[in-house]
Structure 1
Amino acid sequence: MAHWTDLDTPHGPVRAWRAEPGGPSRGAVIVLQEIFGANSHIRAVTERFAAAGFIALAPALYDPIAPGIELDYDEAGTQRGGALRNELGFDRAVDIVSTAADELHREGLRVGAVGFCWGGSVAFLANTRLGLPAVSYYGARTLPFLDEPLRAPMMFHFGQGDSSIPAEAVEQHRQKQPRATIHVYPNVGHAFNRDVDNHVYDPATAELAWRRTLDFLEESLR
């Protein structure tokens, strides 16, 4: 079962898509969007976490500046999403994650974060600034923050062919975050988990990364 709920954040009300497992939960996961908003794809990923046994919550991070927006995976959507990402900024995004985590903690749940693209970098900051176990899928904007120490287990997924995160950037992750688990997948690029976009989706890689993510969450939230 999934539905919209409201978060009372320091930056005003923010909707969040909440999905519940059919039985006892294995913990809670905050799902962090790409630059395209908390769209149908992100909501489907949230529901997939619920099907795997987690209470899952996907905040619509753009709500403080563009309530309800969902963007297409085209040039116009990419341009608009990039502008909204820059306008919102990381600090407000982390504040929203903090509100979501506090709400879930009040329910007695252990909480982790999983983010995609821009949300992958937000997930990293949820670890270093909020202490949440986190998984980052191809977060290309993490480099300026790599000197921030981890406060919980951390996993990164990268595509070897991702031009936004070249090999030298991945190596910086290894050097600056030696305690993190880093997976690099050959023959795939950016957004390999985005199963609504055949230009980037790679089913085999997405499934392997998904299994690793679930194992990580099960261990980290136990």
Structure 2
Amino acid sequence: MGQDIILTAPDGHSFGAYRCEPEGSPLGSVVVVQEIFGVNNHIRDVAERFASIGWLTVAPSLYDRWQPAFTGGYTPDDVASGRDLKEKANAEAEKVILDLGTARSAVAEAGKVGIVGYCWGGYATWLAASRLNFQAAVAYYGGGIINSNDEQPKCPMILHFGALDTSIPMTEVNAIRNAHPDVSVHVFDADHGFNCDQRSQYDPRAASVAAMLTERLFSENLRN
């Protein structure tokens, strides 16, 4: 369903992306933002799922500036490598935003554009929703959002968290909720990574409900 493509940012940086087209005319477009593990099989599967229900999707390889074509699984070594790249990306967040803007432009042909991110991608989505021109945004278990709690999303946004996620304590979730009453915050009885069926933390019920809420937000705000 998808194909690997190359995108070029305004500063000349070329990076990979996975693009998926729906059957028939797209409802709109969605940028899918990776976990710390790059555009791996799970993120490709997520992009394909959105395309299967009508959205033109693209998943940019945001670590390419620091390690081209990086993908990881979910082993301790993969986690360590992903976290190292996350720190490098966070230190140059303006470049991440530049590449997300490029990804947005790459699918804007289909009309309004939404963005959804997972794990570190949830944090990147928070920044993109605040700084770029997306029409809807969803962040799943976005670690680090609390550190940018002064950012203000410019579009309708949902945040999905897990009550069992020790990396994002409920004190942080509540602080984000209190600072942003216009952002819809949902907390599931699940752990970090509950949407990923390749991880032990996968929770089918939480994933299903979160997907329903996400798809409804996109349908209400992006549909052509």
The residue that corresponds to 2:119 in the other structure is 117
What is aligned with 2:27? 26
Name the counterpart of 2:130. Answer: 128
Tell me, in whole angstroms, the C-alpha distance in 2 between the residues paired with 1:11 and 1:38: 21
Matches within 5 A, 1:1-222: 1-9=1-9, 10=11, 12-89=13-90, 90-105=93-108, 107-132=109-134, 133-186=136-189, 188-197=190-199, 199-222=200-223
Q: CA deviation at 1:11?
A: 5.7
Alignment gaps of 5+ in structure 1: none
> How far off its partner does 1:26 sit?
1.0
Judge conservation of contact 1:11–1:64 (CA < 8 Å) in 2: no
Shift of residue 88 of structure 1? 2.1
What is the CA distance between 1:176 and its match in structure 2?
A: 0.9
The Cα shift of 1:219 comes to: 0.8
SS at match of 2:207: helix
Deviation per residue, 1:156-205 (Å, 9 max, x gap):
0001111011111110111111100111012x1100001112x1101111
For residue 208 of structure 1, report the CA deviation from its aligned partner.
0.8
SS class of match (1:70): coil
CA distance in 1 between partners of 2:129 and 2:198 (Å): 28
- The CA deviation string for residues 85-141 of structure 1, in whole angstroms up to 9 with x for no partner, is 111222221111011112222x15210100000000111111100031210000011
Residue identity matched to 2:84? A
Partner SS for 1:200 = coil
1:11 touches 1:92 (CA, 8 Å); kept in 2? no
State, as a whole percentage, how many aligned pairs show the same letter: 38
2:69 aligns to what SS in structure 1? coil
Say how many residue pairs are matched. Answer: 219
Given that 1:138 and 1:156 are in contact with CA atoms closer than 8 Å, whether structure 2 keeps it comes out as yes
Partner SS, residue 169 of structure 1 = helix
TM-score, L = length of structure 2: 0.95
* TM-score (ref. length: structure 1): 0.95
Q: Is the 8 A contact 2:27 2:110 kept in 1?
A: no
Contact 2:56 2:110 in 1 (8 A): no
Specify the SS of the correspondent of 1:82: helix
CA distance in 2, matches of 1:87, 1:145: 17
* 2:221 alignment partner AA: S
